[in-house]
Chain A
Amino acid sequence: MTINTNPFIVPLADIPLFDYPEFFAKVNELMADEGCHCVTYHAVPLGAALRFFCCIATDHKKDFVLLSHEQAAPPIPVLDSLTVSHPSFHLYEREISELYGVEFTGHPWLKPVRLHNQEAGSRKQKAESGIIHPAFRIPYPFFSIEGEGIHEVGVGPIHAGIIEPGYFRFSCNGEKVLHLEIQLGFQHRGMEALFLEKNTGIQRAVLAESIAGDTAAGHSLTHAQLLETLAGITPVKALQIERIIALELERIAVHIGDTAALCTDIGYQFGQVVNEALRTIVINTTQSWCGNRFGKGLVRTGGSHYPLGGGFIKLLLLNLKEVEERYLQITHEMFTNPSVLSRFEGIGKVSARQAGMIGAVGMAARSSGVKRDIRWSHPFQAFTDIVYEPVTLHQGDVWARAMLRKQEVEKSILLIRDLLTGKDFEREPARPVYELNLRPSSFALSLAEGWRGEIMHSAVTDPHGKIIHYKIKDPSFHNWMALALAVRNQEISDFPLCNKSYNLSYCGHDL
């Protein structure tokens, strides 16, 4: 079935249910179109069966195709792997396999996603599927290359700086990286289960902004619009605009912070300190708005505790003007500095073909020439009234990812300015609504374009309107593979720079 709104809600009974071979053929047919990407493929235990939902977005036609199949479990379902024809499905299938023990025949890379190295994981496995799949036994099955002069370098899970944990294993020939395998899951907090266990509106709102603290606005916006769709509420225009401003402020702050971090990694201290100071101005502006530098508490269902007022709008515009001028100066200096360019250009290249193959989203896709931006393809909130044209660069290297940030900062500042001009924000302040009556027996899905890329939240309700399944996908879910590809055939010393150029989320991936 085809849907053309974001977010959307569909009665469970209306979702087409196919036999697996038919489902398999349909997905293959849809995914043959390069303008399509899968936004989610996950399984939900419904009664004695597992229902698999797959949602494919067609970027150019601006709609979604939703399809499903169902398997009795137990016994453990054995299915042909979609990854064989479409590598971007590899994590979806691994995740399903890890959670429910489903066997995907022919899957080339069936490894744990999050539940490794720990008894708790195996116990969960045992409880839910009755068996532990051989692929999920410890120790983690790293890919290894053998040969004369080949050596391995292991880094993590704790890294040198103040950064979240993850394990990187490099297979190198001398200084050259042949392959990087990234093992994640160290940050796994059981987020999706918590969304069911902690079920008041406020608990869920606090959970949503903790999925990835650097994307508090992005995730809480995606969560809020999902619940509003389930409850049949449409937020008023002013509220929609406020949310977009929160989202874009977050993007500006992080992009500027990342510009600073990229300068740090190439030893360009001038760029680092100037950008750091600019980021501080932006996050302090967010704090003036809502009392928190990361915008926690800002986005809530049904209303807001912090409606935009005249005083703050004035401060916001003033600060943005200051930041814009100074950011343009320093980035001009950066991008005309030969020493900077020699460290950025041609480093960590990912081609459009690779980005498409792994299902890269957001910045990782756009910096490799893949035009993929939910603000453009599946507009949400106030974006439905705007024509947003995404920034797309074809180079695919560190330079492109730095330049993309610069251009997106400029664009977001312009966007906020446009949104605030000629709008009347004086209104009855609508307080958040936490007691929501959700539509029963439904499937809902919500997408938003956070600063890293597409954020997906999805929920299924039971016949009483209670959420029985909550699924979250951070853009980093796909994009970590882009980092692994970026460092191939690079010097191992280029890894930190490549890593910074993506700045992916560990907790967002591990949930």
Chain B
Amino acid sequence: MALSIIRIFRRHGRQYVKDLRKSFIAEGFRGRPVISSDITPDEEKSAVNVCPVGAIISGPFTLDLGRCEFCMECSFASAGKIRFTNDHRLATNNRENLIIKAGEDIPITIDQAKVRKEIRSYFGHALKLRQVSAGGDNSAEMELNAAGNVNFDMGRYGIEFVASPRHADGIVLTGPISGNMAEALQICYDAIPTPKIVVLAGTAAISGGIFENSRQTNRNFPETFRPDLYVPGNPPHPLTFINGILDLTGRK
């Protein structure tokens, strides 16, 4: 038995991603889109028409990553003039930064001036988060779980998900907020001691995504409380989430 355990361990090897800040995701991953400056009006039009969530508008031509479901249909419809790069750094505290403009290839970053002072002083060394799924489809939830697993091990930074809102410094919301969860979400938020942060993880949480305008969702929460971090994705990749949190809290 001991021998077989050693054999398994040896095969298992070292699983953790050594440097979460510098590692990248393989080509093919649907990350930050880049819109070619020579996109034609016809290509623009077909991209607008094909988008299932109205994330793409013309005049001027832009793609809103806060609404984007990352289905790539616009890329296929525009002969690749909209290209999804493997850049996974998508998180920002400024909703405006999620609007991708034609001809621009600018990394998405945190707006330092907009970060509340207490975030860095209180949460710069350790951060405990309470996750609430409100209509999430369980893919974003699984990726948040994966952020703490043997591969990504976000716990190395003192960042963890906790069971009680009383132990938490903030809330990470997934899902478009189903009407049936609106009250529970509010109770959970209220139970977290101040100062606290609000993180919206995934397109559904940021804008409702494909669930926008459903009569069974309730979008009051993100309208009432200014989110501190938007993490786009369908679902957001663990590296997107971890790097977003590290950037927000001013970690190296």
Docked-complex contact A330 and B8, CB < 8 angstroms: yes
What's the least CB distance linking B233 to chain A, in Å?
Answer: 10
CA of A117 to CA of B181, assembled, Å = 10
B186 CB, min distance to chain A CBs, angstroms: 11
Which range holds the interface residue count of chain A?
A: 35 or more
| Interchain CB contact under 8 A, A120 and B179 | yes
Known: A187-B178, A188-B178. A206 touches B8 (CB 8 A): no
Q: Size range of the interface on B?
A: 35 or more
Is the Cβ of A189 less than 8 Å from the Cβ of B7? no
Whether B181 lies near A157 (C-beta < 8 A) is yes
For residue B1, give the distance in angstroms from its CB to the closest CB of chain A: 8
Q: Name B136-193 residues within 8 Å CB distance of A.
A: 136-146, 149-151, 161, 163-164, 175-176, 178-181, 183-184, 188
Q: Are A507 and B184 in contact (CB under 8 A)?
A: no
Given contacts A189-B176, A280-B151, A297-B71, contact A213 B139 (CB under 8 A): yes
Q: Known: A161-B163, A186-B180. Is A329-B7 also a contact (CB below 8 A)? A: yes
Residue of A188, A198, A325 near B210 (CB, 8 A) is A198
CB within 8 Å for A210 and B26 given contacts A202-B50, A330-B8:
no
The reply to whether B28 and A193 form a contact with Cβ atoms under 8 Å apart is no
B17 to chain A, nearest CB (A): 10
A213 and B184: CB pair below 8 A?
no
Chain B: which residue is nearest A117 at the CB level?
A: B180
A292 within 8 A of B: yes
Which of B25, B150, B175, B214 is close to A193, meaning CB atoms less than 8 Å apart?
A: B214
Chain B residue contacts of A160, Cβ below 8 A: 163-164
From residue 252 to 276 of chain A, which have CB atoms closer than 8 A to chain B?
A: 257, 270, 272-274, 276
**A302 part of interface (Cβ distance < 8 Å):** no
Among the stretches A162-170, A360-368, A411-419, the one at the interface with B is A162-170
- Residue interface bits B189-216, CB-to-A below 8 A is 1, else 0: 0000000000000001000011101111
Q: Does A61 contact B (CB under 8 A)?
A: no
- Specify which of A162, A194, A276, A336 is in contact with B150 (CB 8 Å cutoff): A276
Query: Which residues in B have some Cβ–Cβ distance to A below 8 Å?
Result: 1, 4-5, 7-8, 11-12, 15, 25-26, 28-30, 50-53, 69-73, 76, 84, 131-146, 149-151, 161, 163-164, 175-176, 178-181, 183-184, 188, 204, 209-211, 213-217, 234-235, 237
Considering the complex, give the chain B residue whose CB is closest to the CB of A506: B138
Q: A332 near B: Cβ within 8 Å?
A: yes
A422 in the interface, Cβ–Cβ < 8 Å? no
B138 and A200 within 8 A (CB): no
Query: With A163-B141, A202-B52, A212-B138 known to touch, is A292 a contact of B30 (CB < 8 Å)?
Result: yes
Q: Are A164 and B136 in contact (CB under 8 A)?
A: yes
- B25 — nearest CB in chain A belongs to which residue? A287
Q: A188-B180, A333-B4 are in contact. Are A164 and B141 (CB under 8 A)?
A: yes
Q: Of residues A291, A329, A336, which shows the largest number of chain B Cβ atoms within 10 Å of its Cβ?
A: A291
Instruction: Decide yes or no: A287 and B29 within 8 Å by CB, A185-B180, A213-B137 being known contacts.
Output: yes
**Do residues A190 and B29 form an inter-chain contact, with CB atoms below 8 A?**
no
From A118, A277, A326, contact of B151 by CB (8 A): A277
Residues of A within 8 A of B (CB): 114, 116-118, 120, 124, 157-158, 160-165, 185-190, 193-194, 197-198, 200, 202-203, 205-207, 210-214, 216, 257, 270, 272-274, 276-277, 280, 284, 287-288, 290-294, 296-297, 305, 325-326, 329-330, 332-333, 336-337, 431, 505-507, 510
Of A162, A205, A336, chain B has the most CB atoms within 10 Å of the CB of: A162
Residue on B with the closest CB to A216?
B139
